[in-house]
Structure 1
Amino acid sequence: MREEVQAYLSTRQDLLFFIRNQPVWYRRLSREPYALKECELASKQFFGQTFPQKVDRFQNQLNMVNTMLALMTQQNQ
């Protein structure tokens, strides 16, 4: 792997963890160092940091709060 890629990965612990869990990316970055942006995108999808995933998580939390409130109001009646 190129030294520039290794230096960049040493500054990004999340990418380093992702590459250790997905060794296919280690091989790919060794052959194609310009695929670093694609690796970052795959890492975001892996960790659930894309915008649609964040919206889904927020929506699930909101539904849970609504359910809890509905249960509380039913018990108080």
Structure 2
Amino acid sequence: MEPETYRYIQQRSDLWRFIRLNPDWYRYLTRNPERVSEMEKEAKQFYGKTVPQRLARTQQNIQMIRMLMQMAGSWND
């Protein structure tokens, strides 16, 4: 792997962990270092950091809060 690419990955702990869990990416980047942005996109998806994934998590949290509020309200009746 090119030294610049290697240093960039080492500086980003999320990418470093991702490449450790998915060693195929080490091989891909060794052959074609321009695929770093593609790896970053896959890492975001892997860690659930894409916008749709974040929205889904937020919606789940809101539903949980509503349910807890309803349960708390039913205890007071």
Q: TM-score range by the shorter chain?
A: over 0.9
CA distance in 2, matches of 1:59, 1:73: 21
| Percent identity (aligned) | 38
Matched, 1:20 2:20: yes
Q: What is the letter of the counterpart of residue 24 of structure 1?
A: D
Runs of 4+ in 1 over 6 A off after TM superposition: none
CA distance in 1, matches of 2:59, 2:13: 29
Q: Aligned with 2:49: secondary structure?
A: coil
Q: Shift of residue 41 of structure 1?
A: 0.3
CA distance in 2, matches of 1:59, 1:25: 32
Gaps of 5+ in 1: none
Matched residue, 2:52: 52
Q: Aligned with 1:35: secondary structure?
A: helix
**TM-score, normalised via structure 2 length:** 0.96
Matched residue, 1:11: 11
Q: Aligned with 1:49: secondary structure?
A: coil
Matched, 1:68 2:68: yes
Q: What is the letter of the counterpart of residue 64 of structure 2?
A: M
Gaps of 5+ in 2: none
Aligned length: 77
